[in-house]
Amino acid sequence: MATERQPLEEMTLRQLRKVASRYNVFRYSRMRKAQLLSAIQSIEQERLSNTPSTPVEVKETVEASKFELGQEDPTGGTLASVDEGLADLPSGYGESRIVLMPRDPQWSYAYWDISNEHKEELRRQGGQQIALRLYDVTDINIEHQAPHSVQEYPCDELAREWYLPIPVSDRDYATDIGYRCADGRWLVLARSAPVRIPPVYPSDWIEDVFMTVGWEEDLHDKTIYKLVPPTQRQTAEASNPIYDEIFGMTESTEAQRIAGSLFGSMQHVAGSVVSSFVFPSGMGMWSESAKTMSGAGMSMSGVGMSGVGFSASAPPIRPRQFWLVADAELIVYGATEPDATVTIGGRPIKLNPDGTFRFQMSFQDGLIDYPIMAVAADGEQTRSIHMKFNRETPSRNTNTKEDAVVEWLR
């Protein structure tokens, strides 16, 4: 509830100036108290004389309207009744459609809308298990080319969405939803458009490009600047060595994760059987025993061979090229006065404008003795610290990707 205003005669000079500011009194800050009081009173009297008298009935109507929750539509009626008589949104729109979206470098999200009539039609053709298939379609057209790899994930008939793990980031993927038949056929319900999954390592685009385009300039069919991927550049450009090292380490980590995993051996070859992997949760397991592929002249075999087929609880025999690279670097960092001189092991180090410094070098086996000294600009003060680092590698069983040999594993 609003409080009653203090009488003008009892207000201080500061309070009168605040009232004069609200009334837009000209040059109120230079007036004395008596002048402010006179100016404010004259304005209030003028406003009171220009305000028509309000009937009591109108005041009561205004006060009552404060508690009305509904809002009247200018065309008649309340806005709450606008959607009366409209039917509820349908559960589906009768069009088979699936959309694939990247959630992060290691997971994607798919949602779909499939009509019951379409599902029933494919079940009559022999479809048994509804599933999602994730295709690696990097630099290919899946409509007439075989994908690089295929992963299959059975899902629920009533599901409308699913999360799919991404085997390798920084590649293009598309997904199918369909039915798998007992004879190995794949009946497609819908296929998504290809999407790019972002990489887990930093982008190799590190330069900034700024340009000015005039408002009156015609940009139709005109190229202002052509972006060239770093991998396609012919000329050698100056790069940041620290960034290159960090980028190389993170990129190699992702490559090692893929090369040493089961996904690394799931590359699909045109004409071969779709890859299948059983996760610890059971995802991806096809319940029926493998049968001889009709028309292909080949039978599926794998680990856990029984009299009638094989168990899907283990991956089949597969080749793998396994490798590992690992090393260490030594980074020494610190800060001092920007105009000081810093040496590490007797070598001068360049300081940043704020006085910080960073020194990076390869850290091999043995003892590294690093005395660090800072000398003030006038040479009268010094600070120092003596560091020793010792590295020992008891064993090493590594090889590069180029030196990796094919090994057959179960």
- Tens of pLDDT along 297-306? 333 333 333 3
Percent of the chain with pLDDT over 90: 22
- In sequence order, the β-bridge partners of residue 149 are 267
Asked whether the predicted pLDDT for residue 138 surpasses 70, the reply is yes
The larger pLDDT score, comparing residue 392 to residue 72, is at: 392
Query: Which of the four pLDDT bands, split at 50, 70 and 90, describes residue 290?
Result: very low
The larger pLDDT score, comparing residue 114 to residue 287, is at: 114
Query: Which of the four pLDDT bands, split at 50, 70 and 90, describes residue 311?
Result: very low
Q: Mean pLDDT in the chain?
A: 75
Most confident region among 126-135, 204-213, 317-326 by mean pLDDT: 126-135
**pTM over the 0.85 mark:** no
Least confident of 25-39, 123-137, 197-211, 282-296: 282-296
